A and B are shown apart, each in its own frame.
Chain A
Amino acid sequence: MSEPADTAPVDAAPDRVAGRMRRVRALIVKESRQIMRDPSSIALGIVMPVILILLFGYALSLDVRNAPIALVIEQPSAMATEIATGFRLSPYFEARTVTSMAEAETLMRAHEIDGIVHVRSDFARNVASGDASVQVLLHGTDANTARIIENYALGTIGLAAQRLSDEGNPVAGNGPVKIRSRIWYNESGNSQYFLVPGLIVLIMTLTGAFLTALVMAREWERGTLEAIFVTPVRANEILLGKIVPYFGLGMIGFALCVFAAEVLFRVPLRGSFAVLTGVSMLYMLVSVGFGLFISSVAKSQFVASQIALIASFLPAMLLSGFLFDIRSMPVALQIFTQILPARYFVTLLQTIFLAGDIWSVILPNTAVLALMAFVLFAATLRATRKKLA
């Protein structure tokens, strides 16, 4: 084929690079303007992270405080009073005394209380014979709360018993073996410490996969790509024009989260900020890559958004270990989580925030994310052709 001679100098290498840069920059500028002008992009990219930060930081908590319980003490005694006082003074309970079991059960059925501590009339007599028991009834509907309450209740009763024995009563403790437990990285067991860093995963997945899939599918659906295709622009430049702005938007969400975590909620950052930023950038790439991949396969907004929700957002929320520990899941599901990028990112986030720069965790997880980014971009590039239909 005879190449036209007069176009050859235009295709010289430095010009080619300059042309590529100019085209990509133009696409980035265009996309950024669109983001700024569309209230729904801003809602998802900026407003949503702020709402989530407030909710996760202030509203959501797995830590039980002031659980309402009823105390039913059928016959007062020193021991019974000791137990009742224990519950009244505990920060975990909001104890109220009711006179009969019937009344307490009514309250429980209405779920006005989470539990009943019942001291029977023969309690004092049984204490003397060393065989007394306090009945604890729990409202089991919310099993997690119930279990926490159970532990607090056992502890409270145990302490009361111990105080009595310390005061010289001739009874042994509930030994002989006791547990000294230490919860590393989060001694006080503050659930914000893992919820707030986990938010970064949610927000990056939303802007990366969900929003990117949606806007790219919109271009296909509205036919805006048809004219763009018949220009010197390359398919990879079109992709790059999408990646950069949404990457930027995601990093704004990231910055908001880190700011909130450190300044508002005082979550410790034991690792280095640089490593945190680095792995977050990597995850953002994976996320945007996934969004682009979805839209290159499903070229309709509705289908793309549904796929993005089911394949990226829900897994990031449920299967990443952010809220529910992967180690509690059935083995099949645990194996399945191996293919989820969010899983590796959550591990990295929890480690970098709470444990520190532990390279034996950071390196393998980062490597997996890098591999995923590479595979996704390669697949997207293959699937994105400047062709219609």
Chain B
Amino acid sequence: MRDSLLRIVSLVRKEVLALVRDPRSRVILFVPPLLQSMLFGYAATFDLNHAPYAIYDEDRSAASGDLVARLEGSGVFERVATIQRSSDIARLIDDRDALLVVHIGPDFARKLSAGQKTDIQVIADGRNSNTAGTAVAYVSAIVDGFNADWRAAHGMVDPPVTANVRAWYNGNLETSWNMIPGLIGTITMLQVLMLTALSVAREREDGTFDQLLVTPIRPAEIMLGKALPSTAIGLIQATIILLVAQLWFRIPFAGSLLTLYGGLIPFVIANVGIGLFISSLVANMQQAMLFSFVILMPFILLSGLATPVANMPDVFQWLTLIDPLRYALDITRRVYLEGATLGQLVGDLWPMILISAVTLPIAAWMFRNRLS
């Protein structure tokens, strides 16, 4: 028992030293998580800011001017052109100069003053239909505001029913609040899985793995010796991203750190398990790298990071059950934004523990019994 502990400590120390002594490894530990969380944090958003739009105001009345002012004042849209002819609309959209063209007809103010209904035309570039839909929704909200004020100013009756919408956990419905906590799991997985898979593949390529196998070290000890440092690295990287989310992006943290790490630890271990499992199958570093990548892509895509799991067909939803990231995303988002407690997360915790319980022993067994 004492010897076993001593051997594991030696293995862990060796792993840590190898990482710390190699300047390249040091860089790879800290720079990518930092870089990726910043990049993702800014880029991965479905919210619109400064969306280019063009106005085609045939009316040029006070009322239409008011509406245009509201569009400009929203901060969402930024005018890139003022159109004079309807034939210009197509060019602006086709050339991607404008995401949106708002067309106000010549009798806009006249109809309004007459108490009649009128409409404005909104043309959106649907090459990215998600962005287009969001843009139209923003315009729609602005027009709603215009309507309410117009009705109040002109003594018109409000609609019998209005909707009073309130969002829990993310009052302004900012996608970055959803995306950035999601990155804690995603980037950690990307790094941990690949580094773990590579570490054993490198030892095989260098011949040091054989050297390990002729010492009294047991496969389970090798497994622990690899898993413990990798887990620590994973948690450090997760912490870096967590700090970026809180200190840089200033996304309020609703839950408890203890709960968050309580969820992250089994997640990182599950990744280590998958990484070691891959490494027990491959022959060299190139294969380790490519195979872990081929596994990572579907895991990330199916996790619900960019598109919700609920939108997927059943078959794919079943597939997500073996994806540790799916559970990790649920945990990080719920702890981060909703303040969920460990008790509420049991459903996410046990599948990850199960994944570790399957992959780690198989990997340890394969260390010695792999067909050569």
By a beta-carbon cutoff of 8 Å, the part of chain A in contact with chain B is: 38-41, 43-44, 47-48, 51-52, 55-56, 58-65, 67-68, 79, 83, 108-111, 114, 127, 130-148, 150-151, 153-154, 157-158, 160-161, 164-165, 169, 171-187, 189-191, 193-194, 210-211, 214-215, 218, 301-303, 305-306, 310, 314-315, 318-319, 321, 323-325, 327-331, 333, 347, 350-351, 354-355, 358, 360-361
* Residue B236 is within 8 A (CB to CB) of chain A in the complex: no
Interchain CB contact (< 8 A) of A40 among B163, B175, B287, B308: B287
Please give the distance in Å from A63's CB to the nearest CB on chain B. 7
Q: Collect the chain B residues with CB atoms within 8 Å of residue A130's CB.
A: 157-158, 160
Which residues of A sit under 8 angstroms from B178, Cβ to Cβ?
A: 141-144
Please, which residues of chain B bring their CB within 8 A of the CB of A165? 159-160
Nearest 6 interchain pairs by C-beta: A140-B170, A186-B126, A140-B167, A40-B290, A59-B316, A350-B127
Q: Is the CB of B159 within 8 A of A183?
A: no
A96 vs B45: C-alpha distance when bound (angstroms): 31
Q: Quick check: A138 and B126 within 8 Å, CB to CB?
A: no
The answer, yes or no, to whether B94 is at the interface (CB within 8 Å) is yes
Roughly how many angstroms separate A174 CA and B163 CA in the complex, as a whole number? 11
Q: Give every chain A residue within 8 A of B162 (Cβ-Cβ).
A: 132-134, 174
* Chain B contacts for A38, CB-based, 8 A: 286-287
Contacts of B117 in A (CB 8 A): 173, 175-178
Which of B143-151, B218-226, B269-277, B357-365 contacts the other chain?
Answer: B143-151
Q: Which residues of A contact B136 (CB under 8 A)?
A: 179, 181, 183
Knowing A177-B143, A327-B48, the reply to whether A301 touches B32 (Cβ < 8 A) is no
List chain B positions with a Cβ less than 8 A from chain A. Answer: 24, 28, 32, 35-36, 39-40, 42-52, 67, 91, 93-96, 99, 111-112, 115-134, 136-137, 139-140, 143-144, 146-147, 150-151, 156-171, 173-175, 177-178, 198, 282, 285-287, 289-291, 293-294, 297-298, 301-302, 306-308, 310-313, 316, 319, 330, 333-334, 337-338, 344
Give chain B nearest CB distance to A260 CB in angstroms: 15
When the two chains form their complex, are residues B302 and A132 in contact, meaning their CB atoms are under 8 A apart? Answer: no
For residue B293, which residues in chain A have a CB less than 8 angstroms away from its CB? 44, 48, 210
Determine the chain B residues whose CB is within 8 A of the CB of A148 once the complex forms.
133
User: Are the CB atoms of B124 and A183 closer together than 8 Å?
Assistant: yes
For A303, the chain B residues whose CB sits under 8 A away are 24
**Which B residues are CB-close (under 8 A) to A136?**
163-166
Mostly, the B contact residues are helix
> Across the two chains, which residue of chain B brings its CB closest to A129?
B160
Task: Name the one of B115, B120, B129, B143 contacting A186, with C-beta atoms under 8 angstroms.
Answer: B129
Q: Which B-chain residue is minimally distant from A55 (CB atoms)?
A: B301
Distance A138 CA – B166 CA, assembled complex (angstroms)? 6
Across the interface, do A323 and B306 meet the contact criterion of CB distance under 8 Å? yes
Compute how far the CA of A186 lies from the CA of B166 in the bound complex, rounded to whole angstroms.
30
Instruction: Say yes or no: A143 contacts B168, CB within 8 Å.
Output: no
The answer to whether B24 touches A171 (Cβ under 8 A) is no
Q: Flag if B45 contacts A191 (CB, 8 Å).
A: no
Q: Which of B43, B120, B147, B289 contacts A324 (CB 8 A)?
A: B43
A110 touches B127 (CB 8 A): no
Q: How far is the CB of B161 from chain A (nearest CB, A)?
A: 5
Cross-chain contact B43 with A127 (CB below 8 angstroms) = no
Given contacts A134-B164, A182-B124, 4 further A-B contacts (CB under 8 A): A51-B294, A174-B147, A184-B126, A321-B128
From residue B228, how far is it (CB to closest CB) to chain A in Å? 22
Whole-angstrom distance between the alpha carbons of A29 and B314 in the complex? 44
Across the interface, do B313 and A58 meet the contact criterion of CB distance under 8 Å? yes
Give the shortest distance, in Å, between A268 (CB) and chain B (any CB).
Answer: 11
Give the residues in chain A near B45, CB-CB below 8 Å.
324, 328-329
Cβ-neighbour of B166 out of A135, A143, A169, A301 (below 8 A): A135
Whether the pair A58, B316 counts as a contact (CB closer than 8 A) is yes
C-alpha gap A56/B337 in the complex (Å): 28
Residues of A within 8 A of B95 (CB): 358, 360-361
CA of A119 to CA of B217, assembled, Å: 67
Q: Given A140-B167, A143-B178, A194 and B173 touching (CB < 8 A)?
A: no
Which A residues touch B132, using CB under 8 A? 183, 186, 189
Shortest Cβ gap from B190 to chain A (Å): 8
Asked if A182 and B94 sit within 8 Å, CB to CB, the answer is no
**Pair B43/A333 contact, Cβ less than 8 Å:** yes
Cα distance A305–B292 in the bound complex, in angstroms: 12
Report whether A214 and B120 are in contact in the complex, using a CB–CB cutoff of 8 Å: no
B151's contact among A64, A176, A318, A319, by CB below 8 Å, is which? A176
Does A160 contact B168, Cβ atoms closer than 8 Å? no
| Chain B residue at smallest Cβ distance from A148 | B133
